[in-house]
Amino acid sequence: MGANRSAYRLSRLAAFVAAIALICATQARAEATLVIEADTGKVLQAENATYPWYPASVTKVMTAYVALSAVKQGRFTLDSLLTVSPAAAAQAPSKMGFKPGTQVTLDNALKMLMVKSANDIAVVIAEGVGGSIDGFANEMNRTAQRLGMTQSHFVNPNGLPAEGHVSSARDLGILGRAFFKDLPEYEYFAHLPGIKFGKRTTMNFNKLIGRYPGADGMKTGFICASGFNLLASATRNGKRLIAVVLGAQSSAQRAVKAAQLLERGFNGNKLTWLRPSMGTVDQLAPIDASPPDLRDQMCGPKRKRPAAEDEDDDVEIATGPTENSDGNPSMYAAGLQPQTIKTTELFAGAAALEPPVIVYTGPTRTGSAIAAADAAETEAQTPKGKKGKKSQVAAVKPDAKPEKKKDAKPDAKKDAKPEAKSDSKTASKPAAKPEPKQLGNSAKPVSGDLKPAAAKPKDGAKDAAKSSKPAAEKKSDAPPKS
């Protein structure tokens, strides 16, 4: 009897231990991190770095790498025009939203890809460079094989959910190294501060840019299944490090985590001599497993609000990792790790960013032609109804103020309903002489300014003096319309 009880208790204990081990393993796989030296590939820290993972929009680093390699090979130029197809226009947001048939240079497309993370532009590049999405995906996979990205397989150029579209922190670290090593002349695409397309301005989703000292890349990513991903890089004193964070809980937390990893990498660690070298990134042994699916965690009903790549969740930073938390106690002993950058310091103020880069559709432009294209797009994005209302307000206000006391009501009656009829008859004769002098701007503002003068032919010099003031104000409003 006693023996049976002991066996039962042992079996229960074993089941409990197994359950705890399973929970710990699941929690451990909820996030993957990696820090390497860009020049040597030496691994400074790795946590679940060889587990397969959904790369999401970090995929676009490979898209940019393949496209820029084609430019370097002479197959295309940055001025090459690409056309938006119906398939590209049908992609899910985030996207630029161009209509089929719109043309954009490869240069502008890459800027939109890396900053806006535009899924439609990724397909535009894929179809333009690879002939089709499938053709470009094959080129991406051949490139991955050549680089030693043994855990990666790409199905599309933007990272939207697709069966078999996977990578790992290890492979993304290898890709980051290759980008800087093979395409140094194009590395500015990895750290653009933002883009401006007409009235629409998008700043880089990578919160390290302009905040973390030396941050110079590379790309963020998010889908529900992957969590918040970041392939980051920073350079100090001529030394560049690359950090990968996969599966973070928010865009702010992935930035904080990457900053802490980079900071420890730059400052070194007092316990490095206690652990064996992990070798180089390509020597990390891949793990044969299925990618973790974080859909319920990221987009399930328990989350306060739906997660999104472009979410502005700085308010959640206080609930994120503590300033000395690294999530890997086995790597660092408490109190002996170097001082890490503080979360509160990283996001204390606004990012110190350069002005956004102007992007546009159509062929390459230079100098003042870029500003002209930007002004034209801004005008095109302004609703016509709003333009009309602004011009009417500008025309009415100057006339309304001088005549508040006695003439306010009579003038309102004269200038409201009869105005449409009297403009053709009454205003045509008095306005005939002044009109040629005002043609320097546009006919419409001039005729509008002369209406008050035409409505009061009796007042003579006094009304002429009053009508001259609105005309002067109208002149100043005319150039922006043209």
Which amino acids are annotated catalytic?
Answer: 57, 60, 117
Do the beta carbons of residue 340 and residue 323 sit within 8 Å?
yes
Q: Indicate the Cα dihedral angle 218, 223, 224, 228, nearest 10°.
A: 10
Residues 359, 361, 366: CA angle, nearest 5 degrees: 60
What residues contact 102, with CB distance under 8 A and at least 6 apart? Answer: 83, 84, 361
